[in-house]
Amino acid sequence: MEVQHKAGFVNIFGPPNAGKSTLLNALLGERLAIVSPKVQTTRHRILGILTEPGYQIIFSDTPGIIDPQYKLHNKMMQQVRSAVEDADVALLMADITDDPDSFASVIASLQLKTKKILLLNKIDLIADKEQQAAMVKAFEDKIHPEKTMVVSALKKINTKKIIPAILKLLPEGPPFYPDEDISDRPMRFFVSEMVREKIYSLYDQEIPYHTAVLVQTYEELPHVTRILADIIVTRETQKMILLGTGGSMIKKLGMQARESIEKFLDKKVYLELFIKVRPKWRENDNYLKEYGY
């Protein structure tokens, strides 16, 4: 029998902080999606395309599922819904230490009609095998997936077994994207995300949640890539916090962001950041659109 080519959309869903973006990166072997210990890090649906002999898997990372509190949240949940609509296979990711009941109600709200693989992540946090097995049973009883796997996206435990499990459920068909594509997003997007990732790691409380990053200039010069980006906040006080005493914090942010952009592009980068105050941008359709939401 002839072996057919397989291709399809494999979309990752789950509550905030489950480890969805960490998993996308582990599956692709590439740092495409930003990660942080804080909730609500991912705001967009991000495609990660894996093309291998015999198959093409188009993964989607999605924002953690939440009850929207403001318009930005609505936009984030629209991204989740678009991924619900075109999924061939759904990867449902939970933190294995979380409550199975609340996970189940989050997942039920999606009304998924596709095949499901349940990934119980962060097993490195539960050493006891009996306790692991009890959690697996508690989650499975609520979700009824095609398959359940215990994994650690961070420590790469069992992550190699995920793709073979997906291939069993993936439809046959020709590839959707050219071989060389790894995402649907332009470089400017990844650059703005890398700045945002550093904002999540350097600033606390409300700052990351009131911030957007917009790349205004992206210029590939012979010896350096020149990038000018705006950081948008909602209040003057947040601007002061971002700057830090004598500009010390923004300097640190610029250095750290530049380093990760250089690593990603494998090129020398000149990065300049400008802070702008736009009151209530998270509630304003025009601003949301301008900032890519």
Ligand X SMILES: Nc1nc2c(ncn2[C@@H]2O[C@H](COP(=O)(O)OP(=O)(O)OP(=O)(O)O)[C@@H](O)[C@H]2O)c(=O)[nH]1
Sites of contact with ligand X (CB under 6 A): 14, 16-22, 35-37, 39-42, 63-64, 121-122, 124-125, 152-155
Buried b (16+ CB within 10 A) or exposed e, 63-87: bbbeeeeebbbebbbebbeebbeeb
Complex with Mg ion: residue 7 or 162, whichever CB lies closer: 162
Complex with ligand X: residue 153 or 233, whichever CB lies closer: 153
Residue 124 binding target from ligand X, Mg ion, none, CB below 5 to 8 Å by type? ligand X
Complex with Mg ion: residue 6 or 20, whichever CB lies closer: 20
Binding site for Mg ion (CB under 5 A): 20-21, 41-42
Q: Which residues contact 255 (CB under 8 A, 6 or more apart)?
A: none
Instruction: Show the tokens assigned to 283.
Output: 């509630």
Question: At its nearest, how many Å lie between ligand X and the CB of residue 89?
Answer: 18
CA distance 288 to 159: 35
Question: At its nearest, how many Å lie between ligand X and the CB of residue 277?
Answer: 25
Question: What are phi and psi for residue 246, nearest 5 degrees?
Answer: 60, 25
Residue 153 binding target from Mg ion, ligand X, none, CB below 5 to 8 Å by type? ligand X
Complex with Mg ion: residue 121 or 225, whichever CB lies closer: 121
Question: At its nearest, how many Å lie between ligand X and the CB of residue 36?
Answer: 5
CA distance 151 to 18: 12
Question: At its nearest, how many Å lie between ligand X and the CB of residue 281?
Answer: 20
CA distance 30 to 182: 9
DSSP strand pairing (89-95 vs 6-13) = parallel
Complex with ligand X: residue 8 or 63, whichever CB lies closer: 63
